[in-house]
Chain A
Amino acid sequence: MYVLDALPQTHSYSFEALELDCGRTFSPVTIAYETYGRLNAAKDNAILLLHALSGSAHAGFVNDKGEHGWWEDFIGPGRALDTDRYFVICSNFLGGCGGSTGPGSVDPATGRPYGLSFPVITVGDMVRAQKHLVDSLGIRALLAVVGGSIGGMQALQWAVDYPDAVKSAVILAAANRLSAQGIAFNEVGRQAIMADPFWQNGEYYGGTSPRTGLALARMIGHITYLSEESMHEKFGRALKGANGYHYRFSEDFEVESYLHYKGSRFVERFDANSYLYITKAMDYFDLPDLASIKSKTLIMSFSSDWLFPPAQLKSFVRTLRRKHKDVTYCDVQSSRGHDAFLLEVAPLTELISGFLENVAGPV
């Protein structure tokens, strides 16, 4: 563990009036964020890190609550995002529940949480909100935007929408659209939440939240983040107890117990309505026109990822190659499925640090 000058803290930035893709202007907006490393005088060493569905602004190091950052192994001195060189910003996206404005935030007009009166947002809206934050820090151009899964979608959206403000993009386990299979899994997750009687059309704040539905959505989602191979390696058919089958509909297998654990942990820290809004933003994500991109781009798929399979990423990369974009692609060998972008530290560090070194130029 590295010793920091101070423990990472979550800051927030608020602004008025965000134009949304749905046509509404939304106000006010607060974006929660953390930063690591130092912004140099020229303000040209900033990297914006974009988190995935369940992530937060807390990406690096251990904070004062003892919580580990979601990409902790990739952030710090000498790591992929080298905090001795780069200034790393990670913000909680719009619609989230980690300090940024989302459906669980209080609507100043009513004094009550938005719930379903929160507008349906897109990845483009999330990125537009992040641009306000980046501008407020006085950064004209980001050295890199980096993200995996829906974070990778945001990174791509940045490169498309703000080509002059993005020098490079690192996209992990994401493509320029979500597949039918991805939309299908998201819809099952949403239906699980909305079928929970405690969901109450999203008006559950202050009362009992739809824990069962959200836990079920997380369990379904989690299966898509793993792979057949990694589940076999991790659990096989291992039983939970030593006494064989129970001959009851209780947890027999380790894999069941694991999914229940993941589900119950998730409901402690996540808002069910945010899950609805974020998965909807993923479903809507579709960027067929990539012509505006100017950034040097590094795209990585993972061999066992079945949510964003290598074949889909290859086809996305081919679209960019045909347009003669400066795009490098690597299919990283991994048995860990979609989650590999959080776990394959060594090969990813090698690729990302090598890539960023060339974008940043000599020290």
Chain B
Amino acid sequence: MIRRFDQDIIVSLIPEGSCVLDLGCGNGDLLIKLKQKGTSDIRGVEIDDRCIAVCVRKGLTVFHGDIDEGLGDYDDASFDYVILNQTLQVVHRPTLVIEEMLRVGNRAIVSFPNFGYFRIRWYLLVKGQMPKVDFLPRNWYDTPNIHLSTISDFKMFCRTRKIAIERLIGLQSCATGKTVKRFQNLLSQVGIFVITSGREL
């Protein structure tokens, strides 16, 4: 299996003993890494029932549901961290999902493929077609991605909604784990944001 450095980075951002909710947890790989690190209480939400069965066999606590329905069942600040790893681009209501993450969690970690990456720009400029690259390999008509954005877009999104960005990590590639310090919107394949609602923690 390919090592997912985006997952490793997210795990490194979360202190031991934290209470974590992972939205779109898939087969639970990130949750298992968090469990191994020693988080106190971890939960996942996943829409694919086959993934639920895989998570159950791994001993994870998961909810079969749609994150676009919101997180109305949780009280405010129920979790230390709420994670949305590489899932923002497939949700129908990104604003609602982010607002709900910041309501039920003290901090939210959001990662997504950065459409501002230079090879994507180049692809569109030269070919004039919807970019297909290794980390966004699907055709426009069969991709689940409906809300693609850039690191710059997400910064703007946060600024207009008074969401505080605590950290931004530009990941040059999930496969190598190399991070980018400068020109992040141009040189990162993935952006990882740690955000808060700005309220006192």
Task: Verify if A19 is at the interface (C-beta below 8 Å from B).
Answer: no
Contact for A332 among B49, B57, B73, B78, CB less than 8 A: B49
Given contacts A318-B72, A321-B73, A321-B74, contact A329 B65 (CB under 8 A): yes
Residues of chain A lying within 8 A (CB to CB) of residue B57? 350, 354-355, 357-358
Min CB distance B72 to A, Å, is: 7
Taking a contact as CB atoms under 8 Å apart, the answer to whether B53 and A330 are in contact is yes
Task: Verify if B124 is at the interface (C-beta below 8 Å from A).
Answer: no
Task: Verify if A25 is at the interface (C-beta below 8 Å from B).
Answer: no
From DSSP, what is the main secondary structure of chain A's interface residues? helix
Q: Give complex CA distance A321, B41 in Å.
A: 12
A329-347 at interface with B (beta carbon < 8 Å): 329-333, 347
Contact for A350 among B43, B53, B59, CB less than 8 A: B53
**Interface residue tally for chain A (C-beta within 8 Å):** 24
Q: Which 6 A-B pairs have the closest CB atoms?
A: A354-B57, A318-B73, A358-B59, A354-B56, A330-B64, A330-B52
Task: Verify if B61 is at the interface (C-beta below 8 Å from A).
Answer: yes
Min CB distance A325 to B, Å, is: 9
Min CB distance B116 to A, Å, is: 36
Residues of chain A lying within 8 A (CB to CB) of residue B74? 321-322
Task: Verify if A327 is at the interface (C-beta below 8 Å from B).
Answer: yes
A interface list, Cβ under 8 A from B: 296, 298, 314, 317-319, 321-322, 324, 326-333, 347, 350-351, 354-355, 357-358
Task: Verify if B154 is at the interface (C-beta below 8 Å from A).
Answer: no
Residues of chain B lying within 8 A (CB to CB) of residue A329? 62-65
Task: Verify if B75 is at the interface (C-beta below 8 Å from A).
Answer: yes
Residues of chain B lying within 8 A (CB to CB) of residue A319? 73
Contact with A along B44-61 (1 / 0, CB 8 A): 000001001101111111
B interface list, Cβ under 8 A from A: 41, 43, 49, 52-53, 55-65, 72-75, 78
Min CB distance A137 to B, Å, is: 28
Taking a contact as CB atoms under 8 Å apart, the answer to whether B53 and A314 are in contact is no
Nearest CB in chain B to that of A353: its residue: B57
Beyond known contacts A298-B56, A317-B73, A355-B56: 11 more, CB 8 A cutoff: A318-B72, A324-B78, A328-B55, A328-B56, A328-B61, A330-B52, A330-B53, A350-B57, A354-B53, A354-B57, A358-B59
Residues of chain A lying within 8 A (CB to CB) of residue B52? 328, 330, 351
Residues of chain A lying within 8 A (CB to CB) of residue B55? 328
Given contacts A318-B73, A329-B64, contact A324 B41 (CB under 8 A): yes
Min CB distance A76 to B, Å, is: 20
Residues of chain A lying within 8 A (CB to CB) of residue B73? 317-319, 321-322
Residues of chain B lying within 8 A (CB to CB) of residue A331? 49, 64
Residues of chain B lying within 8 A (CB to CB) of residue A327? 61, 63
Nearest CB in chain B to that of A300: its residue: B64
Residues of chain B lying within 8 A (CB to CB) of residue A350? 53, 57
Nearest CB in chain B to that of A317: its residue: B63
Given contacts A317-B63, A322-B75, A328-B63, contact A347 B53 (CB under 8 A): yes
Residues of chain B lying within 8 A (CB to CB) of residue A326? 61
Q: Give complex CA distance A321, B65 in Å.
A: 13
Min CB distance A339 to B, Å, is: 19
Q: Give complex CA distance A47, B181 in Å.
A: 56
Nearest CB in chain A to that of B19: its residue: A324
Q: Give complex CA distance A318, B64 in Å.
A: 11
Q: Give complex CA distance A351, B73 in Å.
A: 24
Min CB distance B89 to A, Å, is: 24
Q: Give complex CA distance A327, B65 in Å.
A: 13
Residues of chain A lying within 8 A (CB to CB) of residue B56? 298, 328, 330, 351, 354-355, 358
CB pairs A–B below 8 angstroms (24 shown): A317-B73, A318-B72, A318-B73, A321-B73, A327-B61, A327-B63, A328-B63, A329-B62, A329-B65, A330-B52, A330-B53, A330-B64, A333-B49, A347-B49, A347-B53, A350-B57, A351-B52, A351-B53, A354-B57, A355-B56, A357-B57, A358-B57, A358-B58, A358-B59
Min CB distance A186 to B, Å, is: 29
Nearest CB in chain B to that of A355: its residue: B56
Min CB distance B21 to A, Å, is: 10
Taking a contact as CB atoms under 8 Å apart, the answer to whether A314 and B65 are in contact is yes
Residues of chain A lying within 8 A (CB to CB) of residue B62? 328-329
Residues of chain A lying within 8 A (CB to CB) of residue B64? 329-331
Q: Give complex CA distance A328, B65 in Å.
A: 11
Residues of chain B lying within 8 A (CB to CB) of residue A358? 56-59
Q: Give complex CA distance A296, B43 in Å.
A: 13
